[in-house]
Structure 1
Amino acid sequence: MTTSQHLGRDVGAWTRIRIVAGKEFGDCLRSRWLLLGSLLFAILGLAVFFGTAAIGGTLKYQPLVTVVNSLLSLTVFLLPLLAVLLAYDAFVGESEGGTLLLMLTYPIGRVEWLLGKAIGQGVALLAVLTLGFAVLPVVQSVLAVPYGMGELLFALLRVVGTAWLLGMVFVMLAYWVSLSVRHKAQALALLLVLWFASVLLYDLAMLVVTVAGADHLGRGFVTGMMLANPASVFRLMNQAALGIVDFAVPPFMVMAGILVLWAAALFGCAYGKLKRIAF
Protein backbone atom coordinates (compact mmCIF):
# COMPACT_ATOMS: atom_id res chain seq x y z
CA MET A 1 0.00 0.00 0.00
CA THR A 2 1.41 3.43 -0.98
CA THR A 3 1.82 6.43 1.32
CA SER A 4 -1.15 8.17 -0.29
CA GLN A 5 -3.36 5.11 0.26
CA HIS A 6 -2.29 4.92 3.90
CA LEU A 7 -3.09 8.59 4.41
CA GLY A 8 -6.48 8.14 2.78
CA ARG A 9 -7.52 5.76 5.55
CA ASP A 10 -9.13 6.88 8.81
CA VAL A 11 -6.09 6.73 11.10
CA GLY A 12 -4.94 8.68 14.13
CA ALA A 13 -2.60 11.67 14.12
CA TRP A 14 0.45 9.77 15.37
CA THR A 15 -0.16 7.04 12.80
CA ARG A 16 -0.20 9.65 10.03
CA ILE A 17 3.01 11.18 11.38
CA ARG A 18 4.63 7.74 11.51
CA ILE A 19 3.60 6.99 7.92
CA VAL A 20 5.23 10.21 6.67
CA ALA A 21 8.31 9.62 8.82
CA GLY A 22 8.67 6.09 7.51
CA LYS A 23 8.40 7.32 3.94
CA GLU A 24 11.12 9.95 4.51
CA PHE A 25 13.44 7.46 6.20
CA GLY A 26 12.83 4.98 3.38
CA ASP A 27 13.74 7.66 0.83
CA CYS A 28 17.07 8.17 2.65
CA LEU A 29 17.75 4.45 2.41
CA ARG A 30 16.78 4.16 -1.25
CA SER A 31 18.81 7.20 -2.29
CA ARG A 32 21.91 5.80 -0.52
CA TRP A 33 22.11 9.06 1.47
CA LEU A 34 22.21 7.16 4.75
CA LEU A 35 24.92 4.79 3.54
CA LEU A 36 27.08 7.50 1.98
CA GLY A 37 26.66 9.80 4.98
CA SER A 38 27.69 7.04 7.39
CA LEU A 39 30.74 6.22 5.26
CA LEU A 40 31.65 9.89 5.13
CA PHE A 41 31.64 10.25 8.91
CA ALA A 42 33.48 6.94 9.34
CA ILE A 43 36.22 8.21 7.01
CA LEU A 44 36.21 11.52 8.87
CA GLY A 45 36.63 9.74 12.21
CA LEU A 46 39.49 7.58 10.95
CA ALA A 47 41.20 10.55 9.30
CA VAL A 48 41.05 12.53 12.54
CA PHE A 49 42.20 9.58 14.66
CA PHE A 50 45.23 8.66 12.57
CA GLY A 51 45.88 12.21 11.40
CA THR A 52 46.32 13.53 14.94
CA ALA A 53 48.46 10.48 15.75
CA ALA A 54 50.83 11.28 12.87
CA ILE A 55 51.20 15.00 13.56
CA GLY A 56 54.62 14.61 15.17
CA GLY A 57 56.01 12.51 12.33
CA THR A 58 55.53 9.20 14.17
CA LEU A 59 52.40 7.18 14.87
CA LYS A 60 51.87 8.29 18.47
CA TYR A 61 48.23 8.33 19.54
CA GLN A 62 47.11 11.63 21.04
CA PRO A 63 45.03 12.18 24.20
CA LEU A 64 41.26 11.96 23.81
CA VAL A 65 40.81 15.73 24.19
CA THR A 66 42.98 16.35 21.12
CA VAL A 67 41.15 13.74 19.04
CA VAL A 68 37.65 14.95 19.98
CA ASN A 69 38.55 18.61 19.46
CA SER A 70 39.81 17.82 15.94
CA LEU A 71 36.62 15.84 15.33
CA LEU A 72 34.54 18.85 16.41
CA SER A 73 36.37 21.21 14.07
CA LEU A 74 35.55 19.04 11.05
CA THR A 75 32.04 18.06 12.14
CA VAL A 76 30.94 21.69 12.53
CA PHE A 77 31.72 22.23 8.83
CA LEU A 78 30.52 18.94 7.39
CA LEU A 79 27.36 18.15 9.33
CA PRO A 80 25.36 21.33 8.51
CA LEU A 81 26.20 20.81 4.84
CA LEU A 82 25.02 17.21 5.01
CA ALA A 83 21.78 18.31 6.70
CA VAL A 84 21.19 20.95 4.02
CA LEU A 85 21.71 18.41 1.24
CA LEU A 86 19.25 16.09 2.97
CA ALA A 87 16.40 18.56 3.36
CA TYR A 88 16.77 21.36 0.80
CA ASP A 89 14.15 19.87 -1.57
CA ALA A 90 11.78 18.58 1.12
CA PHE A 91 8.94 20.82 -0.10
CA VAL A 92 10.10 22.69 -3.19
CA GLY A 93 10.95 19.32 -4.74
CA GLU A 94 7.38 18.15 -4.19
CA SER A 95 6.12 21.44 -5.62
CA GLU A 96 8.20 21.02 -8.78
CA GLY A 97 7.07 17.41 -9.07
CA GLY A 98 3.42 18.40 -8.81
CA THR A 99 2.74 16.44 -5.60
CA LEU A 100 2.75 19.27 -3.03
CA LEU A 101 -0.84 20.38 -3.56
CA LEU A 102 -1.91 16.75 -3.90
CA MET A 103 -0.44 15.92 -0.49
CA LEU A 104 -2.29 18.87 1.04
CA THR A 105 -5.62 17.40 -0.12
CA TYR A 106 -5.09 14.24 1.98
CA PRO A 107 -6.62 14.01 5.48
CA ILE A 108 -3.37 14.96 7.23
CA GLY A 109 -2.73 18.16 9.13
CA ARG A 110 0.07 20.37 7.91
CA VAL A 111 1.83 20.25 11.26
CA GLU A 112 1.57 16.44 11.13
CA TRP A 113 3.16 16.41 7.68
CA LEU A 114 5.95 18.72 8.80
CA LEU A 115 6.54 16.66 11.97
CA GLY A 116 6.61 13.44 9.98
CA LYS A 117 9.24 14.79 7.63
CA ALA A 118 11.31 16.14 10.54
CA ILE A 119 11.15 12.85 12.46
CA GLY A 120 11.99 10.69 9.45
CA GLN A 121 14.93 12.80 8.35
CA GLY A 122 15.99 13.40 11.95
CA VAL A 123 16.21 9.65 12.57
CA ALA A 124 18.24 9.27 9.36
CA LEU A 125 20.62 12.02 10.49
CA LEU A 126 21.05 10.39 13.90
CA ALA A 127 21.72 7.01 12.25
CA VAL A 128 24.41 8.57 10.04
CA LEU A 129 26.19 10.08 13.06
CA THR A 130 25.91 6.91 15.16
CA LEU A 131 27.01 4.50 12.44
CA GLY A 132 29.76 6.81 11.23
CA PHE A 133 31.38 7.44 14.61
CA ALA A 134 30.97 3.77 15.66
CA VAL A 135 34.19 3.07 13.78
CA LEU A 136 36.23 4.80 16.51
CA PRO A 137 35.37 2.37 19.36
CA VAL A 138 36.19 -0.49 16.97
CA VAL A 139 39.62 1.02 16.26
CA GLN A 140 40.17 1.77 19.95
CA SER A 141 39.50 -1.85 20.88
CA VAL A 142 42.44 -3.12 18.79
CA LEU A 143 45.02 -0.35 19.32
CA ALA A 144 46.99 0.79 22.36
CA VAL A 145 45.60 4.29 22.89
CA PRO A 146 46.03 6.51 25.99
CA TYR A 147 42.38 6.40 27.09
CA GLY A 148 39.72 3.84 27.94
CA MET A 149 36.68 2.60 26.06
CA GLY A 150 34.25 4.16 28.55
CA GLU A 151 35.94 7.54 28.20
CA LEU A 152 35.72 7.38 24.42
CA LEU A 153 32.08 6.25 24.35
CA PHE A 154 31.01 9.04 26.70
CA ALA A 155 32.80 11.67 24.60
CA LEU A 156 31.31 10.29 21.37
CA LEU A 157 27.79 10.20 22.81
CA ARG A 158 28.14 13.86 23.72
CA VAL A 159 29.41 14.75 20.25
CA VAL A 160 26.68 12.71 18.50
CA GLY A 161 23.91 14.22 20.64
CA THR A 162 25.01 17.83 20.20
CA ALA A 163 25.85 17.33 16.52
CA TRP A 164 22.36 15.93 15.96
CA LEU A 165 20.86 19.06 17.55
CA LEU A 166 22.98 21.24 15.26
CA GLY A 167 21.97 19.13 12.27
CA MET A 168 18.28 19.52 13.11
CA VAL A 169 18.69 23.30 13.24
CA PHE A 170 19.92 23.20 9.64
CA VAL A 171 17.21 20.71 8.62
CA MET A 172 14.57 23.15 9.94
CA LEU A 173 16.34 26.00 8.16
CA ALA A 174 16.24 23.96 4.95
CA TYR A 175 12.48 23.37 5.38
CA TRP A 176 11.88 27.10 5.78
CA VAL A 177 13.91 27.95 2.70
CA SER A 178 12.35 25.06 0.74
CA LEU A 179 8.92 26.55 1.44
CA SER A 180 10.04 30.08 0.54
CA VAL A 181 11.37 29.55 -3.00
CA ARG A 182 9.97 28.15 -6.25
CA HIS A 183 12.84 26.05 -7.54
CA LYS A 184 15.20 23.48 -6.04
CA ALA A 185 18.23 25.26 -7.46
CA GLN A 186 17.23 28.44 -5.64
CA ALA A 187 16.80 26.57 -2.36
CA LEU A 188 20.17 24.85 -2.64
CA ALA A 189 22.02 28.03 -3.62
CA LEU A 190 20.51 30.05 -0.78
CA LEU A 191 21.17 27.31 1.78
CA LEU A 192 24.79 26.95 0.66
CA VAL A 193 25.25 30.69 1.17
CA LEU A 194 23.70 30.46 4.65
CA TRP A 195 25.86 27.42 5.48
CA PHE A 196 29.02 29.20 4.36
CA ALA A 197 28.10 32.34 6.29
CA SER A 198 27.29 30.53 9.54
CA VAL A 199 30.15 28.03 9.71
CA LEU A 200 33.00 30.10 8.25
CA LEU A 201 32.30 33.78 7.64
CA TYR A 202 30.68 34.26 11.05
CA ASP A 203 33.79 33.09 12.90
CA LEU A 204 36.01 35.26 10.69
CA ALA A 205 33.78 38.28 11.31
CA MET A 206 33.80 37.60 15.05
CA LEU A 207 37.61 37.38 15.02
CA VAL A 208 37.88 40.69 13.16
CA VAL A 209 35.43 42.40 15.54
CA THR A 210 37.21 40.99 18.59
CA VAL A 211 40.67 42.08 17.43
CA ALA A 212 39.49 45.50 16.26
CA GLY A 213 37.62 46.16 19.50
CA ALA A 214 40.00 44.42 21.89
CA ASP A 215 40.22 47.52 24.09
CA HIS A 216 36.48 48.12 24.23
CA LEU A 217 34.74 44.73 24.05
CA GLY A 218 34.61 42.44 27.04
CA ARG A 219 34.49 38.65 27.25
CA GLY A 220 30.72 38.86 27.75
CA PHE A 221 30.24 40.47 24.34
CA VAL A 222 32.37 37.83 22.62
CA THR A 223 30.50 35.02 24.39
CA GLY A 224 27.20 36.61 23.37
CA MET A 225 28.32 36.67 19.73
CA MET A 226 29.22 32.99 19.92
CA LEU A 227 25.87 32.10 21.48
CA ALA A 228 24.04 33.88 18.64
CA ASN A 229 25.26 31.36 16.05
CA PRO A 230 24.21 27.66 16.31
CA ALA A 231 27.50 26.40 14.82
CA SER A 232 29.49 28.41 17.36
CA VAL A 233 27.27 27.15 20.18
CA PHE A 234 27.95 23.55 19.15
CA ARG A 235 31.70 24.11 19.16
CA LEU A 236 31.68 26.11 22.40
CA MET A 237 29.58 23.66 24.41
CA ASN A 238 31.75 20.71 23.45
CA GLN A 239 35.04 22.52 23.99
CA ALA A 240 33.80 23.67 27.39
CA ALA A 241 32.92 20.06 28.25
CA LEU A 242 36.46 19.05 27.23
CA GLY A 243 37.93 21.71 29.49
CA ILE A 244 39.74 23.64 26.77
CA VAL A 245 37.77 26.89 27.09
CA ASP A 246 39.54 29.36 29.38
CA PHE A 247 36.62 31.73 30.06
CA ALA A 248 33.22 31.48 31.69
CA VAL A 249 30.44 30.11 29.50
CA PRO A 250 26.82 29.12 30.21
CA PRO A 251 26.19 25.58 31.50
CA PHE A 252 26.14 22.75 28.96
CA MET A 253 22.37 22.24 29.19
CA VAL A 254 21.72 25.94 28.67
CA MET A 255 23.68 25.87 25.41
CA ALA A 256 21.89 22.67 24.39
CA GLY A 257 18.63 24.52 25.08
CA ILE A 258 19.76 27.31 22.73
CA LEU A 259 20.09 24.80 19.88
CA VAL A 260 16.67 23.35 20.72
CA LEU A 261 15.18 26.86 20.65
CA TRP A 262 16.79 27.55 17.26
CA ALA A 263 15.31 24.34 15.84
CA ALA A 264 11.87 25.08 17.37
CA ALA A 265 11.85 28.65 16.06
CA LEU A 266 12.76 27.55 12.54
CA PHE A 267 10.15 24.78 12.71
CA GLY A 268 7.60 27.45 13.57
CA CYS A 269 8.74 29.59 10.63
CA ALA A 270 8.46 26.60 8.28
CA TYR A 271 4.99 25.78 9.60
CA GLY A 272 3.93 29.38 9.09
CA LYS A 273 4.99 29.16 5.44
CA LEU A 274 3.30 25.77 4.95
CA LYS A 275 0.08 26.97 6.56
CA ARG A 276 -0.22 29.82 4.06
CA ILE A 277 -0.06 27.58 0.99
CA ALA A 278 -3.50 27.59 -0.65
CA PHE A 279 -5.02 24.82 -2.79
Structure 2
Amino acid sequence: MTRPIRTTMGHMLRLELQESLRSRWFHFYAAVTIGLMLLLIFTGIAESRVLGFTGLSRLLVTYIQITMAILPLFIIVVTARSMVGDREAGNLEYMLAFPISLATWFWGRFIARLVLILAPVFAALAIAAIFGAMKGYDIPWRHVGLYSGLTAALATCFLGLGFLLSAVSKSTEIALGASLLIWLLLVAFLDLLLLSILIKAQFVPEVVIAIALANPLQSFRTASMILFDPQLILLGPASYVILDNFGVTGYVLWALGYPTALGAAFAGLGYWRFSRSDLV
Protein backbone atom coordinates (compact mmCIF):
# COMPACT_ATOMS: atom_id res chain seq x y z
CA MET A 1 0.00 0.00 0.00
CA THR A 2 2.81 2.42 0.73
CA ARG A 3 4.63 2.03 -2.59
CA PRO A 4 1.83 3.40 -4.84
CA ILE A 5 1.36 6.36 -2.47
CA ARG A 6 5.07 7.09 -2.50
CA THR A 7 5.19 6.79 -6.28
CA THR A 8 2.20 9.09 -6.67
CA MET A 9 3.81 11.68 -4.40
CA GLY A 10 6.98 11.45 -6.47
CA HIS A 11 5.02 11.99 -9.65
CA MET A 12 3.25 14.96 -8.12
CA LEU A 13 6.52 16.51 -7.01
CA ARG A 14 8.08 16.01 -10.42
CA LEU A 15 5.03 17.44 -12.20
CA GLU A 16 4.91 20.53 -9.97
CA LEU A 17 8.65 21.09 -10.28
CA GLN A 18 8.54 20.83 -14.06
CA GLU A 19 5.55 23.15 -14.29
CA SER A 20 7.06 25.76 -11.96
CA LEU A 21 10.44 25.66 -13.68
CA ARG A 22 8.72 26.70 -16.90
CA SER A 23 6.86 29.57 -15.25
CA ARG A 24 7.98 33.18 -15.32
CA TRP A 25 7.63 33.71 -11.56
CA PHE A 26 10.43 31.26 -10.80
CA HIS A 27 12.78 32.71 -13.42
CA PHE A 28 12.18 36.24 -12.14
CA TYR A 29 12.56 35.17 -8.50
CA ALA A 30 15.80 33.25 -9.18
CA ALA A 31 17.22 36.16 -11.17
CA VAL A 32 16.47 38.61 -8.36
CA THR A 33 17.74 36.35 -5.57
CA ILE A 34 21.00 35.35 -7.23
CA GLY A 35 21.45 38.70 -8.99
CA LEU A 36 21.25 40.49 -5.66
CA MET A 37 24.14 38.45 -4.31
CA LEU A 38 26.19 39.11 -7.46
CA LEU A 39 25.41 42.83 -7.19
CA LEU A 40 26.62 42.94 -3.59
CA ILE A 41 29.80 41.11 -4.58
CA PHE A 42 30.60 43.38 -7.51
CA THR A 43 29.93 46.57 -5.52
CA GLY A 44 32.74 45.58 -3.16
CA ILE A 45 30.64 45.50 -0.01
CA ALA A 46 32.79 42.67 1.35
CA GLU A 47 35.74 45.10 1.56
CA SER A 48 33.81 47.61 3.69
CA ARG A 49 33.60 47.58 7.47
CA VAL A 50 30.44 48.45 9.41
CA LEU A 51 30.07 47.83 13.15
CA GLY A 52 33.06 45.48 13.00
CA PHE A 53 31.68 43.34 10.17
CA THR A 54 33.98 42.87 7.21
CA GLY A 55 34.75 40.29 4.54
CA LEU A 56 32.23 37.52 3.97
CA SER A 57 30.50 38.27 7.27
CA ARG A 58 29.65 41.78 6.08
CA LEU A 59 28.37 40.38 2.77
CA LEU A 60 26.16 37.79 4.46
CA VAL A 61 24.72 40.28 6.97
CA THR A 62 23.72 42.67 4.20
CA TYR A 63 22.29 39.94 1.96
CA ILE A 64 20.26 38.26 4.66
CA GLN A 65 18.72 41.56 5.81
CA ILE A 66 17.62 42.38 2.27
CA THR A 67 16.30 38.84 1.82
CA MET A 68 14.10 39.31 4.87
CA ALA A 69 12.14 41.99 2.99
CA ILE A 70 12.03 40.37 -0.46
CA LEU A 71 11.52 36.67 0.27
CA PRO A 72 8.31 36.80 2.38
CA LEU A 73 6.61 39.29 0.07
CA PHE A 74 7.33 37.24 -3.03
CA ILE A 75 6.29 33.95 -1.42
CA ILE A 76 3.01 35.13 0.04
CA VAL A 77 1.90 37.08 -3.06
CA VAL A 78 2.67 34.31 -5.55
CA THR A 79 1.42 31.46 -3.37
CA ALA A 80 -1.80 33.14 -2.23
CA ARG A 81 -2.92 33.36 -5.85
CA SER A 82 -1.95 29.81 -6.83
CA MET A 83 -4.87 27.54 -5.89
CA VAL A 84 -7.59 30.16 -6.13
CA GLY A 85 -6.19 31.14 -9.52
CA ASP A 86 -6.27 27.51 -10.66
CA ARG A 87 -9.88 27.27 -9.50
CA GLU A 88 -10.88 30.36 -11.46
CA ALA A 89 -9.05 29.19 -14.59
CA GLY A 90 -10.49 25.67 -14.40
CA ASN A 91 -7.06 24.04 -13.99
CA LEU A 92 -7.94 22.69 -10.55
CA GLU A 93 -10.83 20.63 -11.87
CA TYR A 94 -8.55 19.19 -14.54
CA MET A 95 -5.78 18.26 -12.09
CA LEU A 96 -8.13 16.63 -9.60
CA ALA A 97 -9.60 14.49 -12.38
CA PHE A 98 -6.43 12.38 -12.26
CA PRO A 99 -6.31 9.35 -9.91
CA ILE A 100 -4.53 11.20 -7.12
CA SER A 101 -5.64 11.93 -3.59
CA LEU A 102 -6.29 15.48 -2.48
CA ALA A 103 -3.69 15.20 0.28
CA THR A 104 -1.02 14.03 -2.16
CA TRP A 105 -1.83 16.87 -4.55
CA PHE A 106 -1.83 19.53 -1.81
CA TRP A 107 1.29 18.47 0.08
CA GLY A 108 3.17 17.54 -3.07
CA ARG A 109 2.60 21.03 -4.33
CA PHE A 110 3.64 22.51 -0.99
CA ILE A 111 6.93 20.57 -0.86
CA ALA A 112 7.76 21.31 -4.50
CA ARG A 113 7.18 25.04 -4.01
CA LEU A 114 9.35 25.04 -0.90
CA VAL A 115 12.20 23.37 -2.80
CA LEU A 116 11.94 25.87 -5.65
CA ILE A 117 11.86 28.84 -3.27
CA LEU A 118 14.93 27.71 -1.32
CA ALA A 119 17.06 26.57 -4.26
CA PRO A 120 18.02 30.08 -5.53
CA VAL A 121 18.76 31.29 -1.97
CA PHE A 122 21.04 28.34 -1.30
CA ALA A 123 22.69 28.90 -4.69
CA ALA A 124 23.32 32.54 -3.76
CA LEU A 125 24.89 31.51 -0.43
CA ALA A 126 27.07 28.98 -2.29
CA ILE A 127 28.21 31.74 -4.65
CA ALA A 128 29.14 33.86 -1.62
CA ALA A 129 31.16 30.98 -0.15
CA ILE A 130 32.99 30.45 -3.46
CA PHE A 131 33.69 34.17 -3.68
CA GLY A 132 35.03 34.19 -0.14
CA ALA A 133 37.30 31.23 -0.84
CA MET A 134 38.66 32.89 -3.99
CA LYS A 135 39.37 36.10 -2.07
CA GLY A 136 41.01 34.25 0.81
CA TYR A 137 38.40 35.29 3.38
CA ASP A 138 37.61 33.17 6.40
CA ILE A 139 34.34 31.42 5.52
CA PRO A 140 31.98 31.26 8.52
CA TRP A 141 30.48 27.87 7.61
CA ARG A 142 28.47 27.75 10.81
CA HIS A 143 26.82 31.05 9.96
CA VAL A 144 26.20 30.00 6.37
CA GLY A 145 24.49 26.84 7.62
CA LEU A 146 22.40 28.70 10.18
CA TYR A 147 21.42 31.34 7.63
CA SER A 148 20.26 28.55 5.35
CA GLY A 149 18.18 27.10 8.17
CA LEU A 150 16.70 30.47 9.10
CA THR A 151 15.79 31.14 5.48
CA ALA A 152 14.14 27.71 5.21
CA ALA A 153 12.14 28.38 8.39
CA LEU A 154 10.98 31.80 7.16
CA ALA A 155 10.09 30.38 3.74
CA THR A 156 8.07 27.57 5.35
CA CYS A 157 6.17 30.06 7.48
CA PHE A 158 5.11 32.33 4.63
CA LEU A 159 4.53 29.47 2.21
CA GLY A 160 2.11 27.90 4.68
CA LEU A 161 0.43 31.27 5.17
CA GLY A 162 0.13 31.69 1.41
CA PHE A 163 -1.48 28.27 1.02
CA LEU A 164 -3.94 29.11 3.79
CA LEU A 165 -4.88 32.42 2.16
CA SER A 166 -5.28 30.71 -1.20
CA ALA A 167 -7.55 28.06 0.34
CA VAL A 168 -9.90 30.50 2.07
CA SER A 169 -10.01 33.28 -0.56
CA LYS A 170 -12.87 33.46 -3.02
CA SER A 171 -10.94 35.26 -5.76
CA THR A 172 -7.39 36.17 -6.73
CA GLU A 173 -8.07 39.84 -5.91
CA ILE A 174 -9.04 38.98 -2.34
CA ALA A 175 -6.03 36.67 -1.97
CA LEU A 176 -3.64 39.31 -3.30
CA GLY A 177 -5.08 42.08 -1.13
CA ALA A 178 -5.00 39.95 2.02
CA SER A 179 -1.42 38.83 1.41
CA LEU A 180 -0.19 42.40 0.91
CA LEU A 181 -2.06 43.60 4.01
CA ILE A 182 -0.59 40.85 6.20
CA TRP A 183 2.92 41.52 4.92
CA LEU A 184 2.58 45.25 5.56
CA LEU A 185 1.32 44.63 9.09
CA LEU A 186 4.23 42.31 9.87
CA VAL A 187 6.73 44.81 8.50
CA ALA A 188 5.09 47.64 10.44
CA PHE A 189 5.25 45.59 13.64
CA LEU A 190 9.00 45.18 13.55
CA ASP A 191 10.71 46.27 16.74
CA LEU A 192 11.04 50.03 16.13
CA LEU A 193 7.35 50.79 15.64
CA LEU A 194 5.99 48.18 18.02
CA LEU A 195 8.33 48.92 20.89
CA SER A 196 7.94 52.67 20.61
CA ILE A 197 4.13 52.50 20.73
CA LEU A 198 3.78 49.90 23.47
CA ILE A 199 6.53 51.28 25.68
CA LYS A 200 4.98 54.72 25.40
CA ALA A 201 1.72 53.14 26.59
CA GLN A 202 3.68 51.77 29.60
CA PHE A 203 3.32 48.09 28.82
CA VAL A 204 5.50 45.60 30.66
CA PRO A 205 8.76 45.27 28.66
CA GLU A 206 8.61 41.46 28.66
CA VAL A 207 5.12 41.56 27.12
CA VAL A 208 6.26 44.03 24.46
CA ILE A 209 9.23 41.88 23.47
CA ALA A 210 7.11 38.70 23.49
CA ILE A 211 4.70 40.32 21.03
CA ALA A 212 7.60 41.43 18.85
CA LEU A 213 9.16 37.96 18.81
CA ALA A 214 5.82 36.42 17.84
CA ASN A 215 6.35 38.16 14.50
CA PRO A 216 8.29 35.66 12.33
CA LEU A 217 10.02 38.54 10.55
CA GLN A 218 11.31 39.86 13.86
CA SER A 219 12.42 36.40 14.98
CA PHE A 220 14.37 36.00 11.74
CA ARG A 221 15.88 39.47 11.97
CA THR A 222 17.01 39.09 15.59
CA ALA A 223 18.46 35.62 14.96
CA SER A 224 20.42 36.86 11.95
CA MET A 225 21.86 39.61 14.17
CA ILE A 226 22.67 37.35 17.09
CA LEU A 227 24.99 35.19 14.97
CA PHE A 228 27.46 38.06 14.55
CA ASP A 229 26.46 40.10 17.61
CA PRO A 230 25.98 37.57 20.46
CA GLN A 231 25.35 40.38 22.96
CA LEU A 232 22.68 41.98 20.72
CA ILE A 233 24.18 45.42 21.25
CA LEU A 234 22.23 46.72 18.25
CA LEU A 235 18.91 45.98 20.01
CA GLY A 236 19.74 47.97 23.11
CA PRO A 237 17.96 47.16 26.43
CA ALA A 238 15.68 44.60 24.74
CA SER A 239 18.68 42.30 24.44
CA TYR A 240 18.72 41.66 28.20
CA VAL A 241 15.22 40.21 28.16
CA ILE A 242 15.97 38.00 25.14
CA LEU A 243 19.32 36.70 26.40
CA ASP A 244 18.08 36.15 29.96
CA ASN A 245 15.11 34.08 28.79
CA PHE A 246 16.60 32.29 25.80
CA GLY A 247 20.35 32.61 25.62
CA VAL A 248 22.10 32.64 22.25
CA THR A 249 21.60 28.95 21.42
CA GLY A 250 18.07 28.89 22.75
CA TYR A 251 17.02 31.86 20.70
CA VAL A 252 18.51 30.47 17.49
CA LEU A 253 16.57 27.26 18.09
CA TRP A 254 13.43 29.32 18.67
CA ALA A 255 13.98 31.24 15.44
CA LEU A 256 14.40 27.95 13.56
CA GLY A 257 11.54 26.05 15.16
CA TYR A 258 8.83 28.66 15.66
CA PRO A 259 8.40 29.86 12.04
CA THR A 260 8.64 26.27 10.77
CA ALA A 261 5.93 25.07 13.15
CA LEU A 262 3.80 28.12 12.36
CA GLY A 263 4.10 27.51 8.62
CA ALA A 264 3.21 23.82 9.03
CA ALA A 265 0.18 24.79 11.12
CA PHE A 266 -0.92 27.32 8.49
CA ALA A 267 -0.53 24.75 5.73
CA GLY A 268 -2.40 22.12 7.73
CA LEU A 269 -5.25 24.55 8.37
CA GLY A 270 -5.25 25.45 4.69
CA TYR A 271 -5.51 21.79 3.72
CA TRP A 272 -8.36 21.26 6.19
CA ARG A 273 -10.24 24.24 4.75
CA PHE A 274 -9.42 23.29 1.17
CA SER A 275 -10.57 19.68 1.58
CA ARG A 276 -13.96 20.82 2.93
CA SER A 277 -14.68 23.55 0.44
CA ASP A 278 -16.20 23.52 -3.03
CA LEU A 279 -13.12 22.62 -5.04
CA VAL A 280 -14.52 23.60 -8.42
CA distance in structure 2 between the partners assigned to 1:193 and 1:38 by the alignment: 24
1:232 — aligned with what? 218
The equivalences for 1:259-274 within 5 A come to 259-274=259-274
Structure 2: runs of 5+ lacking an equivalent: 233-238
The equivalences for 1:98-117 within 5 A come to 98-117=90-109
Structure-2 change in CA distance of 1:105 and 1:35 (3 Å): closer
- For the pair 1:182 / 2:170, whether they are aligned, the reply is yes
- Tell me if the contact between 2:190 and 2:217 (Cα under 8 Å) persists in the aligned partners: no
Partner deviation per Cα, 1:183-221 (whole Å, 9 max, x = no partner) = 2232122212211221344445313225414x6522x22
One-letter identity of the residue aligned with 1:175 = F
TM-score, structure 2 normalization? 0.81
Partner deviation per Cα, 1:79-105 (whole Å, 9 max, x = no partner) = 102212442222112101113234344
1:82 — aligned with what? 74
One-letter identity of the residue aligned with 2:214 = A
Structure-2 change in CA distance of 1:15 and 1:86 (3 Å): farther
CA distance in structure 2 between the partners assigned to 1:195 and 1:21 by the alignment: 28
Partner deviation per Cα, 1:37-88 (whole Å, 9 max, x = no partner) = 23312232244454645767xxx98255443332232111011022124422
2:185 aligned residue (197, 202, 209): 197
Paired residues, number: 261
- For the pair 1:94 / 2:80, whether they are aligned, the reply is no
The DSSP-based 3-state class of the residue aligned with 1:91 is helix
The DSSP-based 3-state class of the residue aligned with 2:130 is helix
The DSSP-based 3-state class of the residue aligned with 1:154 is helix
- For the pair 1:137 / 2:114, whether they are aligned, the reply is no
Instruction: Provide the aligned C-alpha RMSD in A.
Output: 2.7
1:23 — aligned with what? 15
One-letter identity of the residue aligned with 1:173 = L
The DSSP-based 3-state class of the residue aligned with 1:108 is coil
CA distance in structure 2 between the partners assigned to 1:160 and 1:200 by the alignment: 25
- Tell me if the contact between 1:45 and 1:71 (Cα under 8 Å) persists in the aligned partners: yes
2:196 — aligned with what? 208
Structure 1: runs of 5+ lacking an equivalent: 1-10
2:209 aligned residue (201, 218, 223): 223
